[in-house]
Every structure is written in structure tokens, then in C-alpha cells.
């Protein structure tokens, strides 16, 4: 397995991360029920193969199936402290909708996971309005409360996630509060990285020394559905190329991919091992010869 350093955290993490959304969300991307015995058995096999392959970063959230993803990982990782000799790195998320305080949210997640702490807790964000950012960064707000949880050892690091690359993301990056940023980035959604300018959240997070995690490396099926629409007879599997595109970006520390069964894990691990499949990401944006 290929490893990188997660920004200023200094943590050594697998370049391919195990995305936990697929563990808890019913019928996410395809027919699936975490309550089904056969489906659930496949999840545990996938986690076992991931650990054996050296994937040491596992990302989950209470929002993935009302805690179901956390409970699956809690059971699958019970007593586990490392993956192929590398320290386990476990990440979860908390909501910023005000339903629970950061402490209440994290303590609930720790209960699901069966742990006394996690390595990373992130604000589970989709989009951030100016009001959201003000509330997060205000004195006594969510960010300050997360820093207190970090000081108490309930989490080693704090971060935020987003689907966007907008003013809210920029404000959170430049606040200097967060250790990591997790953002949507892949061949279809390249908004956080435009090297010909250059601009984008990946550049700004890198300047701040933040660890950078990306989600939806295989595009959550978006690219594949488009291919099916415009070329129904196509038989080429674009998944390796899509994952390699994200792995080729020098600013990406961890490319997260959802993996529900052991065979998908094995295929994705093989993709990471095939470093000859990497591309010059900047050359893709070249317009003149």
C-alpha cells in the first residue's frame, strides 16, 4: 500500500482510504440493506481485506444510515489498532445543524464505534452559507467546542467536509482552526483544483498545511451513467482511470472510495499499486501546443 503524510497532522495514512458511506446507507448507488445478513457479511469481509491490504484510514459518519456505518465499523474494527503494521486512523463526523452539540455528537459516535477517542472528527458539511461559517467560527461556536474536544483527547485532530468550493470553504480553510479538509474531487467534479490559473480549495488548504482528503474518487457513478447515456454499447471499465486521476493529484493525501465487498477492495488496492497508471494531472489542462 502507498502511504502519505496527512498534512501538518504528521499522521501516516494510506493513499487509498476506506469510505464508510456505503456501509450504512440503504440502496446507496445499488441495491443494498445493511440489515440483510448476506449484505452485512460482505461488509465485514471488505473491512478485513482492507486491513490486510494496508488500508489504515477508515472514514465514517453518524449521518451514514443513522449511525449504522459507525456501528458496522465499530464491530468490524473491535480490538484493531493497526493495518498491516500501520497505526489505524479512524475518522467520523458531526453535524452543524444544532440538533446535538459537538460533544454530544462525538460521544454518541464513540459509543457506536466502541472507542474512547477517534483520530479525526470533522464537521459533516454539504454547503456552508455565510451564516453557517459565522456560527462555526464564533466565540464559543462549533470550532471552539471541537478544539476543546481535541484538548481533552476525544479526538486527535479536527476538520471539515464539503461538496463545494465557495466562500464558506475558503473562510474555514483560512481560519487556521482545522487540521484537515475533506472535499469532493474527481474527474467530473474538478472544482477544487484548477491548475491553469491556479485556484481552488486544494491549493488553499495545501498553503495552510492542512491534510487533504477527497471523496467520490470513482465519481459515485456519475461518469459511468454519462457514458451509458452517450455510448450504451461501451464495455470499457473506467473505474481504474477515475481512481488514478485522483491519485495523480500531488495535493491529495487520501482518496476515499466506498467499498462494500472484498473483491472491490482488492481491485482498488491493485489500482493503487499500479503507479504506471498515474498521469500528469497538469498536462490534462494544457490548451496550447
The rounded distance, in Å, linking the Cα atoms of 148 and 173 is: 19
Across 18-32, b (16+ Cβ under 10 Å) vs e yields bbbbbbbbeebeeeb
Give yes or no: 64 in active site.
yes
Q: For residues 55 and 48, what is the distance between their CA atoms, to the nearest angstrom?
A: 10
H or E segment and range at residue 199: none
**In the chain, what's the furthest Cα-to-Cα distance?**
57
What CA–CA distance (Å, rounded) separates 168 from 135? 11
- Given the residues 3, 28, 64, 288, the one annotated as active site: 64
Backbone angles phi, psi at 119, to 5 degrees: -80, -35
Q: What positions carry a catalytic annotation? A: 64
Amino acid at each position: 500500500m502507498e502511504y502519505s503524510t496527512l498534512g501538518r497532522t504528521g499522521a501516516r495514512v494510506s493513499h487509498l482510504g476506506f469510505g464508510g458511506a456505503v456501509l450504512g446507507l440503504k440502496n446507496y448507488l445499488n441495491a443494498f440493506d445493511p440489515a440483510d445478513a448476506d449484505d452485512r457479511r460482505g461488509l465485514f469481509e471488505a473491512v478485513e481485506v482492507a486491513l490486510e491490504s494496508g488500508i489504515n484510514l477508515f472514514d465514517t459518519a453518524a449521518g451514514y444510515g443513522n449511525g449504522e456505518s459507525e456501528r458496522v465499523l465499530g464491530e468490524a474494527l473491535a480490538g484493531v489498532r493497526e493495518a498491516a503494521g500501520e497505526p489505524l486512523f479512524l475518522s467520523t463526523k458531526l453535524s452543524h445543524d444544532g440538533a446535538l452539540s459537538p460533544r454530544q455528537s462525538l460521544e454518541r459516535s464513540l459509543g457506536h464505534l466502541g472507542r474512547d477517542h477517534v483520530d479525526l472528527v470533522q464537521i459533516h458539511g454539504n454547503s456552508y452559507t455565510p451564516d453557517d461559517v459565522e456560527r462555526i467560527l464564533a466565540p464559543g461556536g462549533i470550532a471552539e467546542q471541537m478544539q476543546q474536544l481535541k484538548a481533552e483527547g476525544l479526538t486527535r485532530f479536527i476538520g471539515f467536509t464539503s461538496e463545494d468550493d465557495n466562500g464558506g470553504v475558503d473562510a474555514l480553510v483560512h481560519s487556521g482552526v482545522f487540521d484537515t479538509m475533506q472535499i469532493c474531487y474527481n474527474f467530473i467534479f474538478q472544482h477544487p483544483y484548477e491548475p491553469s490559473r491556479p485556484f481552488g480549495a486544494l491549493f488553499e488548504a495545501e498553503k495552510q498545511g492542512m491534510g487533504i482528503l477527497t471523496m467520490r474518487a470513482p465519481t459515485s457513478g456519475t461518469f459511468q451513467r454519462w457514458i451509458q447515456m452517450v455510448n450504451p454499447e461501451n464495455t470499457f471499465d473506467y473505474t481504474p482511470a477515475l481512481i488514478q486521476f485522483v491519485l495523480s493529484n500531488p495535493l491529495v493525501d487520501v482518496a476515499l472510495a466506498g467499498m462494500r465487498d472484498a473483491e472491490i477492495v482488492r481491485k482498488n488496492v491493485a489500482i493503487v499499486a499500479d503507479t504506471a497508471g498515474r498521469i500528469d494531472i497538469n498536462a490534462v489542462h494544457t490548451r496550447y501546443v
